[in-house]
Structure 1
């Protein structure tokens, strides 16, 4: 009887893992497509194989490793998209719940604890985890949608295109300094986590997620191509000019800084 109850609980937890993975994977795919990133792009950032990322998006447990490692993959995926990966992945059920059961059983006198008590305890834990995940996904979805729905204000010098917010916005910026022979110099100040790619004179110099507070500078003889997944979180200073936001929060923007 005890074995049957333990097997039933294991099956229920496996079902809950599959259900939660499907919900989390669907949200991550939606956010990735909004940022115009491919699975290969995310794999390059997270160092997680693209087939594992695809399994997460499809909600398939079979190709994935043990739950504790799968939880780590989910954290890295969420971090790459600008989310708080630790918070997002914290509600994914893992096998640690079984080890917790054995420890808890060993620490309490047998006369005070019955198997039905453990069964009810873990059911309550699972219900709380499901509720927390639903609230977190709703809150994350609202945060992801709100920045892109804002209308340009009168204080902005030029309105952003509204025909397709998910397509790249490409601009050519000519060097207006007094000495046109100076190299192109671009400084970045990251005010909110953002994925960034920098190509200097045709060679990719950097690609990855920069955290809030990061400051970087690149120089080139001909041009610098800058692409950011969260344009509103990147301040750019071109050839020592006053730093300006690359774009609006939550949008992807690519800018080419080049000399005449």
Structure 2
């Protein structure tokens, strides 16, 4: 087994600012005695992206933001200056003419699965056609006069007066408690942090991997590009998703109180009775109040 390099030797190896960013990353990794697999395990960045980054194959990565984010994670894992390495990578990409701009400028490791494959364009086209067909059928039904049987059924339905639905009572004197557990239904990158910027967790979660928010966290919030890839539970009870795949979310509260309050608001909206239609018998049968003492 080769002897480990001394600190002075490591500094000589990685301090050459004239070396390219990929060369600096490779030297620093070798000086730290790490393999690409070990760096991937530390950063939770897929090894194929790290290999492309260390080889200087920026075109194999999804975009400039991804290159910068992966470089920052690589530098942190091997002890390089994060800001200097990211600046070097961006400069080299600019010299190549750029790789295009991502829709969200987040200089951190982002979820590689959020890059949409080409077949999604075909799926979107099919969905648009289905939506257009459904809309046409709906318009056709609106313009078709109802049959006598439909009118009779509607009259029977309108004469029934439903009992008002009582809104659910909120628990009195019971403080919402956790634990809050985030479970990855797909591979996803996320950051959990407090309002003052203190990071509680940052990295990739593999499918079915879980992260439990600390009980002593102060108003924890989340940032992720794939909120739909996370299942959230409070004390084992599932709560509504944090968002959809269409947009990145940030500064979204994920304390037990915030999540349960959010679910209660949605439940109240679902349980609220619809007001009677203007032409319903409830409104049509109500006449003006009689005058007292009039002739």
The answer, yes or no, to whether TM exceeds 0.5 is no
Return the index of the structure with the highest Cα Rg. Answer: 2
TM-score (ref. length: structure 1): 0.40
Greater relative contact order (CA < 8 Å, ≥ 6 in sequence) = 1
**TM-score in terms of structure 2 length:** 0.36
Higher strand share: 1
